[in-house]
A and B are shown apart, each in its own frame.
Chain A
């Protein structure tokens, strides 16, 4: 309220009061006598009171009136400003009962992007955003239709389709009869608050996200203060050092480095402090258990400038990997096997030195080549590719194939590797093949195959020989057994023959006495002549039986001192039955006849008598076999000589049956060499040789004077 207006008003009131008082007293002077007694309040003496009262009432009214009028003017001015303000800054809309907009504030238009003209008459649902829950609207309508105020948060849609959040109050407008005729909605724009709220939650999520990342990172991540004391670490970090997370917090990073690296660690720390970061420096650190661990460390100063973020990675794996790589590279470079890296199109990407050596190329020449060039021709390559494709079930292929060197020399190679479709292919789809020059091996193998054929033949011959030896052995055994059996039989026979022979001989002798008494000389002579013949016969029987007896009796296999002459006589006796029809036989120029004294000559040796006799019989029989082929009986002879030459006793069997054929002369003592077309196993002389050699003797054969000479030498004994 205006103060000048009030002071002016009160001055006016004061002037009116002064005039009323002056007028009262004037009236009182003029009308004093006539006034009379004061009998009522309407008495003129109360005039002034009345005047003042009326004046006061008048002024109060006037004051009130003027004041009201003033304020009204003032208010109207102010509310217009206010309304404009509200219109500008408060989102208000009014609708009729059906929701049709009757009024929209400028602020609402501004925020929603519509003009007032566009909004008026539109239904309020124009702002409705589909993301709101329909039940919110239902609840709102229920509330406001009852005439109550509804308030709540809603997201609305601008003309451009953007979101804006409001806090709305919907007030029902009532008619003078209390009916709801429309609604006024007052909306507060809370979009920014909502955005902040959203950002806050996003921030929280991100913090959670980063925490999770840090927690699950493969690297050790931690923070430390500017002095290098750890403030937080993740589990990977603490595990790398062998501490628990809590043990590490508060520890100084310099303490963890090895003694010799502590000064450099401090330097790194101050460098990071001044430059904001250090990137991937390698350090050796000491684990809790005292072990040394090599790590790679990066430091980042946080924007607060109060903490570092430390990221560490163990270099152990890296070092191992590096070692493995070095090894692999070394292997690749120096391997005695050729390596070829071939891409999917068949081009050679890389080769090692051995491959170059095998094929005679320089490495860079091969790197441009298609692997086709290594094959004999396109067909061979196709064949090779097909061969690989056939093996697709097998993850590893090994093939022997002929390949071509730079000089077009064909070499045998063994190629192994994984086919293109295998999982073993490199990342770019290329594969590694190994190649070995196996030309030598193949050649060797071919040789071996050839040799094994020879060997087979050799083995076959050897086996045959063994079988033959076995036969000889058996033959020998059988022959021994035969002799033993014959010996036994002979022993029995000689005894049985001896007895009748004894009394035949005795009785014949007695006949001789009786015959002496016969008177007829002629008869006596005849009988005596016949008896002589009988005696001769008996003597022959005796000799044969004795020889048989000797063969049978001397079956002991041990060597003994024997007269070699006697053994020859025995053999000749045994062979006599046959020889007398074939050939004459001489021993030391003496023609042999049954009854030849065995001790006529003496050549002692140490030998197995029976076995030696066997040899003689064999040689004599062989000679007889040949002699029978000579036409005339009279011209046939077998001459046996025995003599001593120094300490050797030499026995020779010489015949005139044409000699041994030259082609078998060398091998006549080998088994199964026989001069006979039929019969004869051809083992006889082989056995003879063995018997002679078993008795430390030697046997040889040569041809002389149209016949064969078998010469046997033994060491003589006294």
Chain B
């Protein structure tokens, strides 16, 4: 693998950011950028990113509006929504707004998460 995939993880929970960062980094396939504030994430994420893991329930900004903004800016960007059951309905509806896929919290396993992410990015390319 010549180049690491550039991934952004957006979640207000630092523990989750840290966990995903650790896991994905450990695989060696990704260059992980974590954002606990979606506003900053929106500023920083650009066309160089290969994928975004985006939490849906954040205090600063609703994940769905963040999705909308990201998708309008970078329509080709792979965006995977992270959701708990309580917001599943909204996530399912978000598909047409540009969400590539979704993953339920708690994750079945981090491996599943990584696989889903990798598959989505590579299938797009």
Contact = CB atoms under 8 A, between A and B. Distances in A.
Contact of B22 (A499, A510, A546, A549): A510
Contacts of B109: 505-506, 509
B110 interface: yes
B57 A513 contact: no
A499 B16 CA distance: 8
B73 interface: no
A509 B84 contact: no
A426 B84 CA distance: 104
Interface in A520-554: 538, 542, 546, 549-550, 552-553
Interface stretch (A338-346, A490-498, A614-622): A490-498
Contact of B110 (A500, A509, A549): A509
A494 B110 contact: no
A691 to B, nearest CB: 24
Given A502-B107, A506-B110, A549 B85 contact: yes
B26 A513 contact: yes
B19 A510 contact: yes
Contacts of A494: 84-86
Contacts of A552: 86
Nearest to B87: A495
Contacts of A509: 23, 109-111
Nearest to A535: B109
Contact of B106 (A491, A501, A513, A553): A501
Contacts of A491: 86
Contacts of A550: 85
Interface in B5-50: 13, 15-16, 19-20, 22-23, 26
Interface residues of B, number: 19
A452 to B, nearest CB: 60
B105 interface: yes
**Chain B binding surface SS class:** helix
B20 A506 contact: yes
B86 A506 contact: no
A495 B86 contact: yes
Given A506-B107, A509-B111, A510-B110, A549 B19 contact: no
Nearest to A539: B106
A507 B19 contact: yes
Contacts of B86: 491, 494-495, 549, 552-553
A503 interface: yes
B57 A505 contact: no
B84 A498 contact: yes
Interface residues of A, number: 23
Nearest to B89: A553
Interface in B54-100: 57, 84-86, 89
Contacts of A542: 106
A553 B89 CA distance: 10
B23 A510 contact: yes
A504 to B, nearest CB: 8
A507 B109 CA distance: 10
Given A498-B105, A498-B106, A509-B110, A503 B19 contact: yes
Nearest to A549: B85
A505 B112 CA distance: 13
Contacts of A505: 106-107, 109
Contacts of B15: 500, 503
Contacts of A501: 105-106
Given A499-B84, A499-B105, A549-B85, 18 more contacts: A494-B86, A499-B16, A500-B15, A502-B13, A502-B105, A503-B16, A503-B19, A505-B109, A506-B20, A506-B23, A509-B23, A509-B110, A510-B19, A510-B22, A546-B85, A549-B84, A549-B86, A552-B86
Interface of A: 491, 494-495, 498-507, 509-510, 513, 538, 542, 546, 549-550, 552-553
Interface of B: 13, 15-16, 19-20, 22-23, 26, 57, 84-86, 89, 105-107, 109-111
15 contacts: A494-B85, A495-B57, A499-B84, A501-B106, A502-B16, A503-B15, A505-B106, A506-B16, A506-B19, A506-B109, A507-B19, A509-B23, A510-B22, A553-B86, A553-B89
* 10 tightest Cβ-Cβ pairs between the two chains A and B: A502-B106, A549-B85, A498-B84, A501-B106, A506-B19, A503-B15, A502-B105, A505-B106, A503-B19, A506-B110
